[in-house]
Structure 1
Amino acid sequence: MDLTIAAILGLDGLTNGAIYALVALALVLVFSVTRIVFIPQGEFVAFGALTLAALQTGKVPGTVWLLVMLAVAVAVLDGVQAWRERWPAGRLVRRLLGAVLVPLLIAAGTHALAAAQAPLLVQVLATLALVTAMGPLLYRVAYRALSAASVLTLLIVSVGVHFALTGLGLVFFGAEGWRTPAFWEARFDVGPLSLTGQTLIIFGASVALIGALFLFFERTLTGKALRATSVNRTGAQLMGISGDAAGALSFTMAAFIGALSGLLISPSTTIYYDTGFLIGLKGFVAAVFGGLASFPMALAGAIGVGLVESFGSFWASAFKEVIVFTVILPILLWRSFVDPHHEEH
């Protein structure tokens, strides 16, 4: 291996690491706020890419029907809760308008957009809206009733949600893989490296999103409320911060980050209905590097995972996945010494 090959592999590793960084950030965000190890995060990535691919071909994406199913499930759950707790009619109507009407409007708009052959930017925005709207609905259906459960119980639920979403992805999108067109076809030569416009977009979007998250948590009242919930959920509730609202917001942000990640990688990688699992698992390895609590450490771990994957594929391409996931073993050993386990009470 000479310096030229090393530079090319390094660029590829940084590009992949930027995507894993976004996934890792979403995992850390969800876990710190809700204590949920959100295994289905990769499904948001796959659904984002496959939704845009379906819109590109003029088909109605299966995520439209998934969003409708989730909205109907939430309407039923809210109706049952309203009946049991004898809510006033006005409260139920407000809840349904806020939680169900908007997703249904997004689904209807995307359905109409599929046959209109809209510009790429409009399709991207519709994809982001469609997948992002799934986040709070999924939290309401699968997790909100278990907000006080143990981490192990929440992990088991996440495994079940992952398998359910993967199966629905197969039903809605089929077993074939899809790619989407690049957002920018330009190419720039920098020494031995050849930078594509898509690579620059990945770097730019990742940096912009990380910066936006930093400002959100540091400068906005809502961001500070999420930080308070992540530090001490009970204390935050005593100060008037709703744990359910914080959980729904964290899932909304995670869904948006996942959809954006899928849009960024779909021009360079063939995406299948189950591709999100491997991407999410690599993001999890990066998140574990920070103990599922530190955003900067998760970013560093994501870059490390991307570089290990890139150089590992050069030396032993058949074992690149094994090499990446083996990295988690010394990380777990290190974390066990840095953060000793304490029993939950």
Structure 2
Amino acid sequence: MSWDVALILGIDGLANGAVYLLAGLGLVLIFSVTRVVFVPFGDVAAFAALSLAAFETGRQPATIGMVLTLAALAVVVEVASLLRRGEAARIPRAILGWGVLPALPCALAWLVGGRELPHAVFIVTAILLVVPITPLVARVALQPIADASVLVLLIVSLALHFLLSGLGLLFFGPEGSRTAPLADGALDLGNGFSVSGQVLLMLAAAVVLSAMFFLAFERTVVGKALRATAVNRVGARLVGIRPARTALLAYTFASLLAGLIGVLVAPVMTMYYDSGFLIGLKAFVAAIIGGLVSYPLTAIGALAVGVVESFGSFWSGALKDVIVFSLLIPVLMLRSAMARHHEEEAEEIDQ
């Protein structure tokens, strides 16, 4: 391998790592607040990409029907829960929050679809259209079992991935789509090397969004409430923070990140209804490197996953995913060796 090839692979790896960084932040956000490893995260990103492709071809995105279906299910679940608790007076508010609000981006998408409008309008609408998906799915399937064990939540989350994949196949069909580049041109690095505008946009988006993410957690009241819930759910409840409300915010922010990821990767790879699964899995590897709690370590892990994937595809395209997922083995071994186990603590107490 020459230095020229290594430079090209490194740039490509950083671009992939930027995507995994954003996805990893979303996974860590959800897990730290709710203890849910949200496996369908990548599916939401794929739906955003397919929605943008539908807008570009002058069609109504099938995401409209999916969101309305999930909203109807969420309204039924919420109303049934209120009736069971004897809080029928809150039903109109529930219909407004779980039925009307998710329908607003659907109405916007219906107005935008099939019209000749600036590309930026399509991008914003595609992102807004998928934002309700994660909160709605969480309300239907995850909130009723919020106090279950992490293993149970993981199993349900995995089942939700297969459910959303089936809905994706039903609504979008098996055809793949690729959108127009979001940025044209290239940056000349000299000696015949250049970096495309799309890659630069992906890197810039990762840096800017990560900085905004950090500032939101450190400087805003909402961010501090999310961080308090992540640190101590019981303590947060004692000071007036409602874990259900912060969980809803976490799912919403993560869904927004998934929508941004979808429109970023749509121009560089052909997206199918199930293409987001691998994106989510590789972001999960990055999140595991960060222990599912550390945002800086997750960012470092995401960049490492992107670079390893890029070089792995050069050595063996068929085994690149195996190489990436093999990173979990040394990471888990190292974390297991460094962690204090309950048996060791019990022995120390007995002594």
**Same fold per superposition (TM over 0.5):** yes
Partner of residue 118, structure 2: 119
| Contact 1:52/1:123, CA 8 A, preserved across alignment | yes
- Contact 1:74–1:141 (Cα < 8 Å) also in 2: yes
Amino acid at match of 1:332: L
Deviates more, 1:134-143 or 1:248-257: 134-143
Structure 2 counterpart of 1:200: 200
Normalising by structure 2, we get a TM-score of 0.95
Q: How many residues align?
A: 342
Can you give the 5+ residue segments of structure 1 that lack an aligned partner in the other structure? none
Tell me if the contact between 2:28 and 2:287 (Cα under 8 Å) persists in the aligned partners.
Answer: yes
Alignment match, 2:242: 242
Q: Secondary structure at the match of 2:73?
A: helix
Output the amino acid matched with 2:102. Answer: P
In 2, are the aligned partners of 1:139 and 1:247 still within 8 Å (CA)?
no
Alignment gaps of 5+ in structure 2: 344-351
Q: Which residue of 1 aligns with 2:160?
A: 161
Corresponding position of 2:184: 185
Amino acid at match of 2:248: A
**More displaced stretch, 329-338 vs 277-286:** 329-338
Give the % identical residues. 48
Give the whole-Å Cα distance in 2 for the aligned partners of 1:279 and 1:106: 25
Between the aligned partners of 1:191 and 1:289, the Cα distance in structure 2 is 35
**Contact 2:56–2:179 (Cα < 8 Å) also in 1:** yes
Q: Could you say if the C-alpha distance between residues 87 and 271 of structure 1 is closer, same or farther in structure 2, counting changes exceeding 3 Å? A: same
Q: Distance in 1 between matches of 2:68 and 2:3?
A: 52
Two-structure CA RMSD over aligned residues (Å): 1.3
Q: Is 2:314 aligned against 1:307?
A: no
The match for 1:281 is: 281
SS of the aligned residue for 1:271 comes to coil
SS in 2 for 1:195: strand
Structure 1 residue 183: Cα displacement: 1.1
User: Which residue does the alignment assign to 1:170?
Assistant: 169
Equivalent positions of 1:52-131 (< 5 A) are 52-89=52-89, 91-131=90-130
Q: Is the 8 A contact 1:135 1:253 kept in 2?
A: no
Report the Cα distance in structure 2 between the residues aligned to 1:318 and 1:341, rounded to whole angstroms.
38
In structure 2, C-alpha distance between the alignment counterparts of 1:252 and 1:131, rounded to whole Å: 10
What CA deviation, in whole Å up to 9, does each residue of 1:150-173 have, x standing for no partner?
A: 001000100110000011111111
Instruction: After TM superposition, give the deviation of residue 79 of structure 1 in Å.
Output: 1.6
Cα pair 2:79 2:94 within 8 Å, conserved? no
Deviations 1:94-119 (A, max 9, x none): 23212321111211221221122322
Residues 210, 75 of structure 1: alpha-carbon distance in 2 compared, 3 angstrom cutoff? same
Cα–Cα, structure 1 residues 61 and 342, in superposed 2: closer, same or farther, change >3 Å?
A: farther
